[in-house]
A = this chain, B = another copy of it.
Amino acid sequence: RIDGDRLWRTLMDLAKIGATPKGGLCRLALTDLDREGRDLFVRWCEEAGCTVTVDEVGNIFARRPGRSPDRPAVCMGSHLDTQPTGGRFDGIYGVLAGLEVIRSFNDQGIETDAPIDLIVWTNEEGARFSPPMLGSGVAMGVFTLDHVLDIRDTDGVRLGDELARIGYKGSVPVTGHAMGAYFEAHIEQGPVLEAEDVEIGVVTGAQGQRWYEATVTGRESHAGPTPMRLRRDALAGAAVMMEAVEAIALEVGGDACSTIGRVQVHPDSRNVIPGRVWFTIDLRNPDPDALSRMDAMLRERLAAIADKRGLTLELTDFWAFPTTPFAPELVGHVRRSVERRGLSHRDIVSGAGHDAVYVARKVPTAMIFIPCENGLSHNEAENIKPEHAASGCAVLADAVLATAG
């Protein structure tokens, strides 16, 4: 039994920090607002009797002791940072559902054999500091600590400096934390569950992603006296490339996705033919072969466009992870809970990356999805139903209990 009202109140309380006029959140990683959110979370955990520690990359661990202190912890978690125009639930729901599990275990006097750790991972979104999933990535040995501390935001500010500044550069070694299992509850961030009127998504894994940066170089010249045929317009070329990027996902079909999220034009003056354009590319597919095909199409087509237009293309691999299956026995715990509780459900593959994707490399992992309104996420209008929040939390409690003994 969990307290759905308390969970909702807690979500709404945390949503006050960084609230935007359009009803969303802007609480970018390692800003003052992120600190405020973390501080409130830490206070709540301590009030719930947990011991809180922070590791070298700012990941927060709130421990509820178990009967066997030496058993690796059964863990729950997600993230508290948001997109610049993000919603109130992406990440935050998973963290506060975990808090509600601990609170309700306390209320009911439930003891577990293994300790329970509730984890907040640093900089999951990849919005302020890129790529995403940095805290879990360092913890799982995907990135070195030094590399991540040295990542800079677009203003050139170092992640490590911001971590220290907001007081979340902890001393606990970031690798080697003893995790026996990891459960992450999350909003789906897509339209599937809502469209099928299903309460819970039993997440079997996450689709693969490949991120790139493209720099197109042409020749700056005057927008007036330079005849069209003599132009080497980096932006005109980049526009055709952007269309090609969209076409790749459309042609490959199925669940293929392609997105360009960021563009920078140089020198960015109205009457100068752009000499250089930089943009990001995000390709996704649950089918590894199809993702490789998309990668090959991207390289070939963008190079051909650059070639035809006398432009130079630099296409660099920025970040990637392969399609990642979750641990069948933990997914089984989730499925059994859903079935026992009589919740409508379906298996689903995550379209987004989550800290769970990196954790799954070292630790048995599963995820629980709940529907979100209009499938909308990374949008201030992101919304969920309180009853779905409660159901997902109850399933999380069941799964943790089944695992922690």
Contact = CB atoms under 8 A, between A and B. Distances in A.
Give the number of times this chain occurs in the complex, counting copies. Answer: 2
A280 interface: yes
A284 interface: yes
Interface string A246-268: 10011000011111111101111
Contacts of A351: 222, 224-226
Contact of A270 (B228, B261, B270): B261
Contact of A235 (B260, B269, B284, B377): B260
Contacts of A353: 224
A399 B14 CA distance: 74
Q: DSSP class of A's interface residues: helix, strand, loop or mixed?
A: loop
A383 to B, nearest CB: 13
B272 A261 contact: yes
A230 interface: yes
B225 A189 contact: yes
A262 B277 CA distance: 10
A384 to B, nearest CB: 14
Given A221-B379, A236-B246, A272-B85, A226 B262 contact: no
Contacts of A127: 269-272
A65 interface: no
B242 A239 contact: yes
Interface in A163-220: 188-192, 207, 209, 211, 219-220
A238 B260 CA distance: 12
A133 B150 CA distance: 45
23 contacts: A84-B272, A125-B269, A126-B271, A127-B270, A127-B271, A132-B271, A189-B222, A191-B225, A207-B224, A220-B378, A221-B375, A224-B284, A226-B375, A227-B257, A233-B259, A236-B242, A243-B243, A259-B273, A261-B270, A261-B273, A271-B282, A271-B352, A275-B379
What are the 10 closest A-B residue pairs judged by CB atoms, nearest first?
A: A190-B225, A225-B351, A239-B242, A223-B259, A224-B351, A224-B352, A261-B270, A222-B378, A189-B225, A84-B267
